Amino acid sequence: MTVKRALITGITGQDGSYLAEFLLGQGYEVIGMVRRSSTINFERIEHIQDQLTLVSGDLMDQISLIDILEKHRPNEIYNLAAQSFVQTSWSQPVFTGEVTGLGVTRVLDAMRIVDPDIRFYQASSSEMFGKVREVPQTELTPFYPRSPYGVAKVYGHWITVNYRESYNLFACSGICFNHESPRRGHEFVTRKVARAAARIKRGLEKELRLGNIDSQRDWGYAPDYVRGMWMMLQQDQPDDYVLATGRTHTVRRFVELAFDCVGLDYQQYVKLDPAFMRPADVDILVGDPSKARQKMGWEASTSFETLVELMVRAELEMIGAED
Ligand code: NAP
């Protein structure tokens, strides 16, 4: 049997690292695209680095993408790379558009030129729904993005659909609702809260500053979601799918549970800070994953409570290891 080869852009990120682990477990040869930086940032893939082929490239640079495809000839591409932080997209809107939006076209063009038979996954986002038009959101819910990041993702989604229809490519868009883990970037609210709860418990910090704690999100566990990404590329026909838990919780509830895990009352430590408010926030994000369940048999199997607990436990262990 021939070994399948997958290219992951964004392999140094949260999802990239879990997807790489998952694909290695499926017997894939995994090529990871990394961008040049003055310091190495391979923490999330250190433990599997010797099983990966890492290649240098950037979503801003078309030639690097064509070269990688010509040299490594993957069967599947998972385009996870992006400027992925919503808040940063207001301070760097053009850069976000270049990477998160136009970057998708660059990968699709490279694929069209080098090998149109490659299967392609685009990491789309629930942030495309923004000022939601209906609750819960499905693959057919109209988009109303509320940040430059969301706008760029809408472009990435539609260019994926458009190239599928224009060039008959096997290109799928996974509309993922928030998914977290101990490998989530420190700036994201779940990681920030889990880390603060653990550090306050250990006496390393005194308070936690947050923006809108009443905003509601549909939070799942990242390893469940990367399995869904892979499943999309194993179907007979390319299509778009919502990946979500179908349940929503406030940031406040996440905070409460995280502080419960360490036996503290969050109200004594949380301070509301306008600096963390978004200029335009999204309302109640909750996805309807029925299509993914019915067509692919995919389900988010980790509960919200388990997710919060495993994130806080991981932070406590990390502090322990630093002691
Ligand atoms: P992440 O941890 O922020 O990782 C982003 C990755 O993109 C990093 O590997 C980063 O590399 C890479 N990257 C950034 N700019 C690049 C460029 N110009 N060229 C090449 N690589 C570049 O994001 P994540 O949470 O894993 O999310 C993966 C994808 O899913 C992203 O597209 C995100 O927008 C999308 N998404 C995520 C969620 C979620 O809840 N996690 C939900 C919906 C959609 P460096 O390490 O060098 O910075």
* Residue span of the structural domain in which 155 resides: 5-179+219-243
Domain contains 291: no
**Given this model, what pLDDT does residue 320 score?**
84
174: exposed, middle or buried (Cβ count in 10 Å: 0-12, 13-18, 19+): buried
* Co-location of 140 and 196 in the same domain: no
Count the neighbouring beta carbons within 10 Å of the beta carbon of residue 53: 12
**Given this model, what pLDDT does residue 17 score?**
98
Q: What's the CA-to-centroid distance between 84 and ligand 1, angstroms?
A: 5
* Co-location of 85 and 142 in the same domain: yes
For 168-188, what is the mean pLDDT? 97
* Residues in contact with 104: Cβ distance below 8 Å, sequence separation at least 6, in sequence order: 79, 122, 155, 156, 159, 160
* Co-location of 194 and 122 in the same domain: no
Which H or E run contains 123? strand 119-125
CATH of the domain at 154: 3.40.50.720
Residue nearest to atom 25 of ligand 1 (CA): 14
Tokens found for residue 9: 């852009």
pLDDT tens, 2-27?
A: 899 999 999 999 999 999 999 999 99
Domain contains 302: yes
Instruction: State whether the beta carbon of 60 lies less than 6 angstroms from ligand 1.
Output: yes
Instruction: State whether the beta carbon of 229 lies less than 6 angstroms from ligand 1.
Output: no
* Co-location of 143 and 199 in the same domain: no
- Chain position carrying tokens 């993702």: 153
Domain contains 210: yes
Global confidence as pTM: 0.96
Q: Which residues are catalytic?
A: 125, 127, 149
* Co-location of 140 and 205 in the same domain: no
Look at 50-64, 130-144, 308-322 and tell me which has the smallest mean pLDDT.
Answer: 308-322
Q: Is the pLDDT of residue 321 over 80?
A: no
* Co-location of 190 and 172 in the same domain: no
CATH of the domain at 255: 3.90.25.10
Q: Is the pLDDT of residue 297 over 80?
A: yes
* Co-location of 109 and 30 in the same domain: yes
Mutational pocket test of ligand 1: of 12, 42, 46, 84, the residue with most ligand atoms within 8 Å of the beta carbon? 84
* Co-location of 169 and 237 in the same domain: yes
Distances in whole angstroms, Cα of residue 271 to Cα of each of 64, 202, 210, 214, 255 = 45, 19, 6, 13, 12
Domain contains 290: no
**Given this model, what pLDDT does residue 278 score?**
74
Q: Is the pLDDT of residue 322 over 80?
A: no
Instruction: State whether the beta carbon of 41 lies less than 6 angstroms from ligand 1.
Output: yes
Q: What's the CA-to-centroid distance between 174 and ligand 1, angstroms?
A: 14
**Given this model, what pLDDT does residue 279 score?**
74
**Given this model, what pLDDT does residue 323 score?**
53
Return phi, psi of residue 235, to 5°: -75, 165
**Given this model, what pLDDT does residue 275 score?**
83
Instruction: State whether the beta carbon of 14 lies less than 6 angstroms from ligand 1.
Output: yes
Number of domains in the chain: 2
Q: Using pLDDT thresholds of 50, 70 and 90, give the confidence band for residue 284.
A: confident
* Co-location of 60 and 98 in the same domain: yes
Residue nearest to atom 4 of ligand 1 (CA): 13
Domain contains 42: yes
Q: Is the pLDDT of residue 131 over 80?
A: yes
Q: Is the pLDDT of residue 255 over 70?
A: yes
Instruction: State whether the beta carbon of 242 lies less than 6 angstroms from ligand 1.
Output: no
* Co-location of 201 and 147 in the same domain: no
Mutational pocket test of ligand 1: of 39, 62, 80, the residue with most ligand atoms within 8 Å of the beta carbon? 80
* Co-location of 203 and 147 in the same domain: no
For 78-105, what is the mean pLDDT? 97
> What is the average pLDDT value for the chain, to the nearest integer?
96
For 151-173, what is the mean pLDDT? 98
Q: Is the pLDDT of residue 263 over 70?
A: yes
Domain contains 77: yes
**Strand duo 170-176 + 216-217: pairing:** unpaired
* Co-location of 87 and 128 in the same domain: yes
Residue nearest to atom 38 of ligand 1 (CA): 178
Q: Is the pLDDT of residue 282 over 80?
A: no
Domain contains 289: no
Domain contains 292: no
